[in-house]
Amino acid sequence: MNQIDYLRISLIDRCNFRCSYCMPEGEELNYILRQELLTQGELLTLLKEVFIPLGFRKFRLTGGEPLLRPGVVDLIKTIASLPATADLAMTTNGFLLAQMAEELYHAGLRRINISLDSLDPKTFDLIIGNRGKSRWEQTWAGITAAHKVGFDPLKLNVVVIPGFNDGEVLALAALTIERNWHIRFIEFMPIGNHNLFGSCAWIPSEELRQQIRGKWGLIESAVRGNGPADVFKIPGAKGTLGFISQMSECFCDRCNRVRLSADGLLRPCLLNETGEIDLKTSLRSGVSTLELREMVRELLMIKPEINFKQRDAGTVTGVYTRTMSQIGG
């Protein structure tokens, strides 16, 4: 059994973008009330008294958009300073990074993933649901600011959507040739109402690899990540290309993570609520951290039996009760 030592922590379910694959258009979003969010103190109690004693050493801060969370810099500083923290990373849309990259780096954050689904401003704005002034330039400024500050590795996450950005695969892959950037192509996951994308909502990673092989060639990379990506590189390139193939090449058997939502729900699998436990309510009702630790330990014991592919067999119900932003994907 894989050692489960990686906790994805959603800090907030709100976001300043409304990406179609994360917050589907037409769906009413019921945001978590501020008082229902885990407080900084509660989160740190769970880390120090529950997760770290169970062997968790890798933490990723997500959202919504984590940079919207008040006090995020101080929280990073505290988590980074914990002796047990072996790895601390963040996933962000990059829109606020231009003004925040330096203080995040000085707080102790060293790894960052930035969502960038298109190099074309019009396509980018369409995907993020923006109808006003283009947000592409400020997002790109955030990426370059993070690079300048020294984030390494700097990863760019690309959700590949047929008919929208699938024609940009080569242009995005080319970013790795002269820069030590790591592009991660992610198969789209059908969470929520995605009529926008029609019946064919995802492209197998192998099709993307074939495109890249045909242009430059493709070799396996010695650089490995903490996650499920299969990592390759263009021969001679400074950066790498990762493929996260949750739809075509199920990686549940090597999953080493669980997810904590902004309101304290611990979920063993992104697309499967089986076994989900409410840590915040238990903590606020006076359940001891020792008891909470045992609750989490039991969840970890059943995690190998839980995977999102069970939905294909019709054995899981209620899988999509939350959008990606609410889960903290």
Residue 89 is predicted with a pLDDT of: 97
Q: Is 192 annotated as a binding residue?
A: no
Q: Is 176 annotated as a binding residue?
A: no
Q: What SS3 string covers 53-87?
A: HHCCCEEEEECCCHHHCCCHHHHHHHHHHCCCCCE
Q: Is 250 annotated as a binding residue?
A: no
In angstroms, the Cα distances linking 259 to 233, 290, 324 are 29, 20, 12
Q: Is 275 annotated as a binding residue?
A: no
Residue 192 is predicted with a pLDDT of: 53
Q: Which amino acid is at 45?
A: T
Q: Is 269 annotated as a binding residue?
A: yes
Q: Is 285 annotated as a binding residue?
A: no
Domains with residue ranges and CATH for the chain: 6-327 (3.20.20.70)
Residue 45 is predicted with a pLDDT of: 98
212's tokens: 């890249």
Backbone angles phi, psi at 159, to 5 degrees: -85, 120
Residue 249 is predicted with a pLDDT of: 77
Rounded-to-integer distance, Cα 53 and Cα 57, Å: 10
114's tokens: 């930035």
Residue 307 is predicted with a pLDDT of: 64
Rounded-to-integer distance, Cα 92 and Cα 73, Å: 14
Q: Is 167 annotated as a binding residue?
A: no
Average pLDDT by stretches of 10, the chain with 329 residues: 89 88 66 89 98 98 96 98 97 98 98 97 94 95 97 93 94 97 88 50 91 97 75 97 84 84 90 84 98 96 71 43 55
Q: Is 309 annotated as a binding residue?
A: no
Residue 116 is predicted with a pLDDT of: 97
Q: Is 132 annotated as a binding residue?
A: no
Give the CB-side neighbour count of residue 259, counting CA atoms within 13 A: 23
Q: Is 259 annotated as a binding residue?
A: yes
Neighbours of 220 (CB within 10 A): 10
Q: Is 45 annotated as a binding residue?
A: no
Q: Is 257 annotated as a binding residue?
A: yes
Q: Is 200 annotated as a binding residue?
A: no
Neighbours of 261 (CB within 10 A): 25
Q: Is 155 annotated as a binding residue?
A: yes
